[in-house]
Amino acid sequence: MMRCTVKGIDKKKLSRAWLAFKFYGINVVFVSFITGLFAGVVITFYTICTSYGEQYSRQLYDLLRQNPAFIPLLFVGLFAGALAIGTLVKFVPMIRGSGIPQIEGACRGKFPFNWYVTLCSMFAASLACVFLGLAAGSEGPSIEMGGCVGEGTGRILRRPYMIRRLQIAGGASAGFAVAFNAPVTGMIFALEEAFKSFSPVVFVSASVSVITALAVRTGIRAAFGFEIGSAFEGFVFTPLGWDGYLFVALAALIVALAAVAFYYSVQGAKKLFKKITFFKGVGKFTIPFVLSGAFGLITVYAMGGGHNFIHAISTGGTGNFQGLSVLGAGFLVSLLIIVVLRYILMTLYMACGVPCGVFIPMLAVGAGLGALLSALFVQAGMDGAYCDYIIIICMSVFFTTFVRAPITGLFMVFELTGQFANPLPALLGVVIASLVAEVCRLEPGYENNLHAFIRDEGFAGREKTVRVSVAVRPGSLADGGKINKIIWPSNGLVVAVRGEDGSSIIPSGGTKLQAGQVLDFECTAVDEQEVLDYLYTIVGKQRNE
């Protein structure tokens, strides 16, 4: 039977093209643009506030060092702040820790959350941690708040279930990109860590949100006279000789093992914190807060996210470390003290659930270990020009071992420094990190925290296997489309296709769907109706349904 055409245009194909544009162009591109727009505004102003917060806290601690009589007031303030923030975390558990595991779970549909309460609570709590002088970064909260903006955009615009989940991932990627000024790493984060899927629609959604958010960031920072550049521009990568690769491999192995120790330190500290019950469990927050104050009085490099510390150990490609001293000690001893202090604080923050960023602080520990090893390698005969590259590689190795996100870790090396040449040493470091994590059978750090959150908050068991049947309507997006070309709900599969004559087949990715067929779809989800609502946008929905 001949299809009806108008001047050579197939009406059915034209209709499907319009539906595809409506589904992908409007639901994905336009909504992602709105998400990126608002995420760019919120996260840019948040990062500006945290930069002022770090400056304020450093000035306050400097003043206290000069006037020790007022130090007790600092600890009174830290104690009160710990109880206040701990109480807020108890009432809004979505802001526990950096918030990254929670937002990953939300974008995978593991649990619902109140986006505006989470956004406002994380903004206030994490900013308070920065002002109090904790070794807190802005990157983790930026990721969660970006995800909250994405969820809010989807709900305000009344988008279906799966589109809202895309916006959470896209918003989180935008938050990452704005905090680091790293668009590619932000997009890869959405694919590798948030959705754990390399779907084209996830890529498009994250890309649009990231590009828009960075454009907003650039405009706002330029208007207020702030710098616009890579996070760690002072590092210079020198091409490595064959001996340099040996030093990279050795450094990567040592730092990866240190990250394994960090992982188990966090798990052990979690068990200890569960035994602390005073002030109804809120009192446990006083331990990391008070220790942060004590460590901040020892050295300014134990405060803040770690940008200043990482910049301080760059050599500009010369291999000459200088200007870093703690309590009058030499460089190596000072560096060791800073790394140990930050290592302890990161362990306590992650185990206790302090609502602050640990992303950059974790990178700072890896960079510090890299600087320590580089200084020792130089004494053993290594060319000092290799130091900067090894420091950044070790930063990535520590992250990759703990988070188990090697592609994000690899791209991070180049985008955060603006140095895009000679990727082989960084690849070697990331491969070693991945192998060590695999041999030690580490569960990805954020995944472990997500599972703990689901268990502790009673979300375990909410997901169930959902099997629904839907009919393909004439002129719908599915009519005439192949299964592998359609974006289905995540963790789902078309398990059977039944024809109008009663026949049934087990489909493959290349199976072409036709109007009148009935699809049996199976997935894991919390709400069956949300799955149906999304499927109806693909297969069409009659008025009486």
pLDDT at 56 over 80: yes
**Structural contact between residues 410 and 225, judged by C-beta atoms closer than 8 angstroms:** no
Token pair in block for residue 104: 């990953």
Q: How far apart, in whole angstroms, are the C-alpha atoms of residue 54 and residue 123? A: 15
Same domain, yes or no: 45 and 92: yes
Mean pLDDT taken over the chain: 86
Q: What is the pLDDT of residue 1?
A: 41
Name the amino acid, one letter, at 200: P
Could you tell me the pTM of the whole model? 0.86
Name residues whose C-beta falls within 8 Å of residue 501's C-beta, 6 or more positions apart in sequence.
Answer: none
Same domain, yes or no: 197 and 288: no
Burial class (CB in 10 A: 0-12, 13-18, 19+), 541: middle
Q: How many domains does the chain have?
A: 3
- Range with lowest mean pLDDT among 194-208, 507-521, 523-537: 194-208
- Range with lowest mean pLDDT among 73-87, 285-299, 411-425, 504-518: 411-425
- Range with lowest mean pLDDT among 55-69, 118-132, 223-237, 442-456: 223-237
Determine how many CB atoms are found less than 10 A away from the CB of residue 316: 11
Q: What is the mean pLDDT of residues 34-52?
A: 94
Determine how many CB atoms are found less than 10 A away from the CB of residue 25: 12
pLDDT at 6 over 60: no
pLDDT at 68 over 80: yes
Name the amino acid, one letter, at 251: A
**Is residue 314 included in any domain, yes or no?**
yes
524 forms beta bridges with 465
pLDDT at 307 over 90: no
Confidence of residue 260 (pLDDT cuts 50, 70, 90): very high
Same domain, yes or no: 253 and 155: no
Q: What is the pLDDT of residue 2?
A: 45
Phi, psi (deg, nearest 5) at residue 5: -125, 155
Same domain, yes or no: 437 and 469: no
Q: What is the mean pLDDT of residues 389-398?
A: 93
Q: 140: helix, coil or strand? A: helix
Q: What percent of the chain has pLDDT over 70?
A: 92
CATH of residue 303's domain is: 1.10.3080.10
Q: What are the C-alpha distances in Å from 18 to residues 119, 230, 435, 475, 477?
A: 36, 41, 47, 10, 9
Residue matched to tokens 């974006």: 487
**Is residue 350 included in any domain, yes or no?**
yes
pLDDT in tens, 164-181: 888 998 899 999 889 888
Task: Decide which of 401, 423, 456 is a domain's last residue.
Answer: 456
Token pair in block for residue 538: 């693909």
Please name the helix (run of DSSP H) or strand (run of DSSP E) that holds residue 442, with its range, or none: none
Confidence of residue 437 (pLDDT cuts 50, 70, 90): very high
H helices present in 384-444, as ranges:
387-403, 406-415, 424-439
Token pair in block for residue 517: 């067929």
Token pair in block for residue 92: 């809004």
Q: 388: helix, coil or strand? A: helix
Q: How far apart, in whole angstroms, are the C-alpha atoms of residue 402 and residue 18? A: 45
DSSP state of 519: E
Same domain, yes or no: 209 and 254: no
**Is residue 234 included in any domain, yes or no?**
no
**Structural contact between residues 164 and 533, judged by C-beta atoms closer than 8 angstroms:** no
Biggest CA pair distance of the chain:
93
CA 325 remoteness from chain centre: 32
Please name the helix (run of DSSP H) or strand (run of DSSP E) that holds residue 505, with its range, or none: strand 504-505
Task: Decide which of 456, 489, 513 is a domain's last residue.
Answer: 456
Same domain, yes or no: 317 and 439: yes
Q: What is the mean pLDDT of residues 415-440?
A: 89
Q: How far apart, in whole angstroms, are the C-alpha atoms of residue 284 and residue 321? A: 38
Same domain, yes or no: 300 and 347: yes
**Is residue 290 included in any domain, yes or no?**
yes
**Is residue 96 included in any domain, yes or no?**
yes
Task: Decide which of 456, 487, 510 is a domain's last residue.
Answer: 456
User: How many secondary structure helices (H) and strands (E) does the chain include?
Assistant: 19, 6
**Is residue 232 included in any domain, yes or no?**
no
Residue matched to tokens 């090893």: 373
Same domain, yes or no: 27 and 164: yes
Same domain, yes or no: 259 and 391: yes
Same domain, yes or no: 45 and 178: yes
Q: What is the mean pLDDT of residues 265-279?
A: 90
Which residues constitute the domain of residue 216? Answer: 11-223
Burial class (CB in 10 A: 0-12, 13-18, 19+), 407: middle
Same domain, yes or no: 264 and 171: no
Q: How far apart, in whole angstroms, are the C-alpha atoms of residue 537 and residue 141? A: 33
Same domain, yes or no: 248 and 216: no
Q: What is the pLDDT of residue 188?
A: 83
Token pair in block for residue 144: 């969660």
**Structural contact between residues 390 and 396, judged by C-beta atoms closer than 8 angstroms:** no
Q: How far apart, in whole angstroms, are the C-alpha atoms of residue 447 and residue 445? A: 5
Q: How far apart, in whole angstroms, are the C-alpha atoms of residue 447 and residue 516? A: 42
**Is residue 544 included in any domain, yes or no?**
no
CATH of residue 512's domain is: 3.30.70.1450
- Using the Cα atoms of residue 293, residue 140, residue 436 and residue 270 in order, give the sign of their dihedral: positive
**Is residue 1 included in any domain, yes or no?**
no
